[in-house]
Chains A and B, each alone.
Chain A
Amino acid sequence: MRVPFEWLCELTGIEASVDDVATRLTNAGFEVGAIHRAGEHWDRIVVGEVARIDSHPNADRLNLPTVNTGSEEIQVVCGAWNFEVGDRIAFAPAGARLWDPYADEPVLKELKPTRIRGVVSRGMLCSTKELGISDDHEGILVLDPDAPLGRPLAEALGGEVLEFELKANRPDALSVLGIAREAAALYGAEVRSPIPDERPSEDGSSRPVELSIDDPALCARYSAALVHDVKVGESPAWMRDRLEQAGVRPISTIVDATNYVMLELGQPLHAFDWETVRGGFIGVRTPRPGERLVTLDGQDRELTPETLCIVDAKGPVALAGVMGGLDTEVTDKTSTVLLESATFDPISIRRTAHRLNLRSEASRRFEKGLPPELTVLALRRCVQVIEEIGAGRGEFLTADAYPAPSDPTPVSLAFDRIERLMGVAYDRSEVRQALSALEFGLEEDGDELCVTPPFWRRDVSAPADVVEEVARLVGYERIPDTLPTGQVMDVAPGEIDERDDEARDVMAGLGFAECVTYALTSEARMARLVPPDLLDASPDAPLGDADAWAAVRETAMNDAGRTLTDRLLPLDREPLRLRNPLSMEENALRLTGLGTMLETLRANRRHADRDLLLFDYQPSFLARDGDLPEEPNFLTAVIGERVSADRWNETGTVELPFVRGVVDELLARSGVPTDQASHDDLQHPTFAAGAAAAVTVEGRLLAAYGEVDAEVAAAFDLDERAWALLVDMPAVRAASSGAPSFSAWSEYPSALRDLAIIVDAEVTQAEVQETIQRAGRPLLQSARLFDEYRGEQIPAGKRSLAYALSYAAPDRTLTDKQADRAHNRVVRALQHRLGAELRG
């Protein structure tokens, strides 16, 4: 809401500076977002008079006005035609600075003499947009004929405009009078109400107006006034200036007068051409089946049953509170006008305005709930304004329907309630003074205070509301700083698990950079996690493709790997979709963060060739029938192909065991020791065949990791191998054995034995390890793999594995013999069970 400062001052008589007023209103809850100072940049712009208008010799669409600036005459080239000889205009000579009307962002440009189609232009007649007064760039601004010739424009037009960011609970503040009431209360000034006193209506001269309200719940009050001898034309300059400063475009006398009163008092008014209203009747009701209305914007609208309408004897003539009808519009032929001033149901108006996307200054006010008392006051003021500008003469009130009058409800509270809530004492006299200044009615009964809000303050309905009024009027600076005392909580429901922090720390320690990614994604982005050839899809399908996910779900259902990873990579599920996405590229909530993370990997690959280790630890969204979705925190990590090795420019290539090392450490730190989790080959369309594993504990999936399928990587525009790790952290927690427990080690020296064996390639390391562990009991302390070899020295179909074994007894130093005996048992078991050969 834009409020011209001089208008505000006129209604209060406050003489403080605009900055002081803005600060005090802001602190009291009426936030001034900006102070626009019209004229701030008008250092050389003056009031000029059009002395002569010549035609341009070389261009029909241009003319050549000569401007008298009071001291000289200057000829300019002009493309606008909305002025005549003798008009006073805002004249900018060369050197003045003006807002560039064609720039996207506000830019001030210095005006220079230019030659336009062969004629030199030494200045400019300004539009309101170039002056920074409004966005209107149609035609130049014609000033009041009394504007002082040759004087700086700021004297004629300048002034500050306060722009308020108003809150939803104060419809009264959507008016200059409302703001004036607040300002007056803060400054201890009197409000100078612009509303005239009642006057008796002239009898007989007007035709009667019959009013009917079908449902008082939808229209609490409807008041109307007739205005005769209407003259539709341009409003006087003072009114146009105020409207423009308040951000409303002047149109013509009657419309301007209704807008002016809406700005001043907050009550939207509508003007009907009374001659076009059929049957001398105005009703408020919902439409009958099949009723239509052509609205002011020329649209022929079918009216849905819930749309509140204004009707005449034959049918709808306006959408109540939202938009008028074309047939009853006031035109320059109109001679009699019916002014409507009504109180409509806020919810009904809000729904209609939203549904039709027709939100206006009027509907914004109705939505917030206007007091019925205001209708007749606004009518009086509007008729007075119309008469003042010579646009007609009328009655203050011709007809009024107010079926169920209601008064504001008093609120009672104990005086000490204020201190109890605020934590600071207020004198009773301060309380009285604050509430009286805001025009609240007060009654006291001992320690009880009974407060009756003025009719425009229906937002005040409970004791806490009254406390706020007192506190903000006295000023929040009264409130001291104390800290809450008393008990703390024993239980915090939904407390954030500290292990979430630990998991992040572990990943950061392992070299990963934490990312925070968007939860919104597109189905097509997730669909890229399946190789396009499996989907019969184009690898270049756009991210906004809505059908992409359906294809994923139709492909390769019941695949064992997919079933196992159903939670982590839920390719068989439906994502939650937005009803109103910002774009199709983010139309759904993610089932997995992997797509987004592969995109992030790709984006970083553009400027880095190594050490791309990224992780994200945010929820995925898994729908549940009839309930909120599950939002498990999944850890998603991606790794680029190369990582730094020992020296400056050495890099190594990431292989599966690199990722395995990360998994083992993360799981161990989360309470799942390496030897408790099994890692099995994972067949899954997202991962490369033979280079992925699933980690389970007792059949429940904890993690999946591996090399990203080359086609999938290519779909994300990656030009090298990529690795991914997905961890279901809630599942890890569930499998966790809790805090690690201590087990003592032998204090006696260990006997070390190396072991290199050759086994069939199908024999897994896990089998070898398990065999060693079992056969080595009880003396074997550890068996660490230190090499794997396949190649020339080993027969085809075989591989060599080498381990460092450590033996010790808890109570003595082992002799060589004892250690050898234990080691031989291990060797025999390997030979026997796995067909292993000792390697020489």
Chain B
Amino acid sequence: MQKQLDALLDAARAELAAAADNAALEQWRVTHLGRRSEVTGLLRSVGSLAREERRAAGQAANAARRDLEAAFEARQAELRRSADGAQVDVTMPGYPVRLGSLHPLTRTLREIRRVLAPLGFRAVSGPEVEWDRYNFELLNIPADHPARDMWDTFHIHDKARPGELLLRTHTSPVQARVMEQIQPPVRVIVPGKVYRYEDRSAKNEAEFMQVEGLAIDEHITMADLRGTLTHFVRMMFGPDRELRIRASYFPFTEPSAEADMSCHACGGKGCSVCGGTGWIEILGSGMVHPKVLADVGYDPDVYQGFAFGMGVERIAMLKYGVTDIRSFYRNDLRFLRQLR
């Protein structure tokens, strides 16, 4: 019977290959898979065989039938594809996929966290509406200090405690909040929204994101600060980046430093991104002022450490080539999709 089946299959396959349209195909199906087809006949005849042959014959006939069915479907699909003489056009666009996106600031913040986490920095948050005490006084910026001019401040109406509630102008108050709650070692970063009483423009926002970093222990040095920042800019902007730090002034650090990195666009030769200088200013930093440590109850003769702060939009603008800081807050889907 196997021979009979093989012959049958060969013949059927040949006929199938010759079937060039749906009518011929249907004719073939009726002939070879229909109720009166040979295979069906063979299957029916299995019952009449000797008991010991039935099993093998039944399996062979069924296998043959499955082969024919598969061949039929394949030919059917082939004919469908070549219908009208057309191949599938693989350049057709895919059906719309509805996958959303994370905001570029969220993505940048996550990257910053990812870079600093292996160095032991944990991400913490603090309130955006703050007391004057945390935003200024505990950072060595007493009332009427001229350094307050560095931060144009939004004040909040509060009849009970006038003048004390404000929108934080930097993420630095969280430094004091963390240190008040735990003893060293401290190693945190603080991402979050900050506010400046400043007209919005392409370069300045009244609301923007900062990331603060703070590391306090018995032996953390300015060299550790520099090493951390160098690692950071290389992880964010490529292994060829160089870091330059220069003296600066912040009331809550001493010594203070501003950090520039060699321009990632021109490699330091000077271009429009870096204003021709080869350097891009990216953050402010320094060794935490002894007064700040003492005010939260740390002994400044025992503990020391560094702090740094950067604008997240600035990092994102450099990474993505965005030129208007307000783009991040317009939430235009064309922008969000481009930077997804």
* A, B bound: yes
Residues of A within 8 A of B (CB): 26-29, 31, 167-170, 346-347, 350-351, 367-368, 420-424, 462-465, 467-468, 471-472, 476-477, 479-489, 491-496, 501, 504-505, 507-520, 576-582, 586, 589, 600, 603-604, 607-608, 611-615, 618-619, 621, 625-626, 628-629, 631, 643-644, 646-648
Does B52 sit within 8 A of A, measured CB to CB?
no
Contact of B182 among A423, A489, A579, A631 (CB under 8 A): A489
Are the C-beta atoms of B146 and A168 separated by less than 8 Å?
A: yes
Instruction: Report A170 CB to chain B, min CB distance, Å.
Output: 7
13 more contacts with CB within 8 A, not counting A170-B249, A577-B156, A648-B95, are: A424-B222, A424-B223, A472-B247, A483-B231, A492-B188, A513-B101, A513-B333, A513-B337, A520-B207, A578-B156, A621-B129, A628-B165, A631-B128
* A489-B182, A519-B128, A628-B131 known; A611+B96 contact, CB < 8 A: yes
Are the C-beta atoms of A489 and B188 separated by less than 8 Å?
A: yes
Does B85 sit within 8 A of A, measured CB to CB?
no
* A-facing residues in B210-229 (Cβ within 8 Å): 215, 217-224, 226-228
Among the stretches B9-17, B41-49, B73-81, B173-181, the one at the interface with A is B173-181
Does B187 sit within 8 A of A, measured CB to CB?
yes
Enumerate 16 A-B pairs (CB-CB under 8 Å) in ascending A order: A27-B246, A28-B247, A422-B255, A463-B290, A464-B254, A464-B255, A472-B247, A482-B227, A489-B182, A509-B99, A514-B101, A576-B156, A589-B156, A628-B127, A644-B98, A646-B95
* A462-B290, A494-B126, A518-B207 known; A607+B334 contact, CB < 8 A: yes
Q: B99's closest neighbor in chain A, by CB?
A: A511
- Measured between alpha carbons, how far is A479 from B287 in the docked complex, in Å? 13
Are the C-beta atoms of A464 and B217 separated by less than 8 Å?
A: no
Does B172 sit within 8 A of A, measured CB to CB?
no
* A481-B226, A516-B105, A626-B160 known; A614+B331 contact, CB < 8 A: yes
Q: B220's closest neighbor in chain A, by CB?
A: A484
Among the stretches B18-26, B64-72, B117-125, B261-269, the one at the interface with A is B117-125
Are the C-beta atoms of A486 and B333 separated by less than 8 Å?
A: no
Q: How many A-B residue pairs have CB under 8 A?
A: 277
- Measured between alpha carbons, how far is A629 from B156 in the docked complex, in Å? 11
Are the C-beta atoms of A468 and B102 separated by less than 8 Å?
A: no
Are the C-beta atoms of A509 and B247 separated by less than 8 Å?
A: no
Are the C-beta atoms of A582 and B206 separated by less than 8 Å?
A: yes
- Measured between alpha carbons, how far is A614 from B99 in the docked complex, in Å? 12
* Interfacial chain A residues near B304, Cβ < 8 Å: 420-421
Q: A469's closest neighbor in chain B, by CB?
A: B255
Are the C-beta atoms of A367 and B146 separated by less than 8 Å?
A: yes
Does B57 sit within 8 A of A, measured CB to CB?
no
* Interfacial chain B residues near A579, Cβ < 8 Å: 154-157
* Interfacial chain B residues near A168, Cβ < 8 Å: 145-147, 149-150, 249, 251
Q: A481's closest neighbor in chain B, by CB?
A: B227
* A-facing residues in B92-116 (Cβ within 8 Å): 93, 95-96, 98-103, 105-106, 110
Residues of B within 8 A of A (CB): 93, 95-96, 98-103, 105-106, 110, 119-120, 122-131, 144-147, 149-150, 154-157, 160-161, 165, 167, 174, 177-178, 181-182, 185-188, 191, 193, 195, 197, 199-200, 206-207, 209, 215, 217-224, 226-228, 230-231, 243-249, 251, 254-258, 287, 289-291, 304, 328-334, 336-337, 340
Counting chain A CB atoms within 10 Å of each CB, the highest count among B106, B247, B340 belongs to: B247
- Measured between alpha carbons, how far is A370 from B193 in the docked complex, in Å? 36
Are the C-beta atoms of B122 and A495 separated by less than 8 Å?
A: yes
Counting chain A CB atoms within 10 Å of each CB, the highest count among B182, B206, B221 belongs to: B221
* Interfacial chain A residues near B188, Cβ < 8 Å: 489, 492
Are the C-beta atoms of B328 and A516 separated by less than 8 Å?
A: yes
- Measured between alpha carbons, how far is A29 from B185 in the docked complex, in Å? 30
* Interfacial chain B residues near A600, Cβ < 8 Å: 331
* A464-B289, A480-B223, A519-B207 known; A514+B336 contact, CB < 8 A: yes
- Measured between alpha carbons, how far is A767 from B83 in the docked complex, in Å? 52
- Measured between alpha carbons, how far is A28 from B257 in the docked complex, in Å? 10
Are the C-beta atoms of A488 and B101 separated by less than 8 Å?
A: no
Q: A498's closest neighbor in chain B, by CB?
A: B123
Are the C-beta atoms of B124 and A644 separated by less than 8 Å?
A: no
Instruction: Report A730 CB to chain B, min CB distance, Å.
Output: 13
* A519-B193, A628-B131 known; A464+B328 contact, CB < 8 A: no
* A168-B249, A580-B154 known; A516+B98 contact, CB < 8 A: no
Are the C-beta atoms of B129 and A464 separated by less than 8 Å?
A: no
- Measured between alpha carbons, how far is A465 from B182 in the docked complex, in Å? 27
- Measured between alpha carbons, how far is A367 from B144 in the docked complex, in Å? 9
Q: B150's closest neighbor in chain A, by CB?
A: A168
Instruction: Report A724 CB to chain B, min CB distance, Å.
Output: 16
Instruction: Report A459 CB to chain B, min CB distance, Å.
Output: 9
Instruction: Report A33 CB to chain B, min CB distance, Å.
Output: 11
Q: A510's closest neighbor in chain B, by CB?
A: B100
* A168-B146, A513-B100, A580-B197 known; A648+B93 contact, CB < 8 A: yes
Q: A24's closest neighbor in chain B, by CB?
A: B246
Top 3 A-B pairs, shortest CB-CB distance:
A423-B221, A423-B223, A29-B247
- Measured between alpha carbons, how far is A488 from B217 in the docked complex, in Å? 10
- Measured between alpha carbons, how far is A121 from B328 in the docked complex, in Å? 51
- Measured between alpha carbons, how far is A347 from B291 in the docked complex, in Å? 21
Instruction: Report A839 CB to chain B, min CB distance, Å.
Output: 34
Instruction: Report A424 CB to chain B, min CB distance, Å.
Output: 6
Instruction: Report A115 CB to chain B, min CB distance, Å.
Output: 40
- Measured between alpha carbons, how far is A690 from B231 in the docked complex, in Å? 57
Are the C-beta atoms of B329 and A518 separated by less than 8 Å?
A: yes
Instruction: Report A313 CB to chain B, min CB distance, Å.
Output: 32
- Measured between alpha carbons, how far is A759 from B177 in the docked complex, in Å? 59
Are the C-beta atoms of A31 and B227 separated by less than 8 Å?
A: no
- Measured between alpha carbons, how far is A629 from B157 in the docked complex, in Å? 12
Contact of A608 among B120, B144, B161, B333 (CB under 8 A): B333
Q: A347's closest neighbor in chain B, by CB?
A: B144
Q: B153's closest neighbor in chain A, by CB?
A: A580
- Measured between alpha carbons, how far is A201 from B244 in the docked complex, in Å? 53
Are the C-beta atoms of A508 and B99 separated by less than 8 Å?
A: yes
Instruction: Report A575 CB to chain B, min CB distance, Å.
Output: 10
Instruction: Report B281 CB to chain A, min CB distance, Å.
Output: 9
* Interfacial chain A residues near B243, Cβ < 8 Å: 481
* Interfacial chain A residues near B161, Cβ < 8 Å: 626
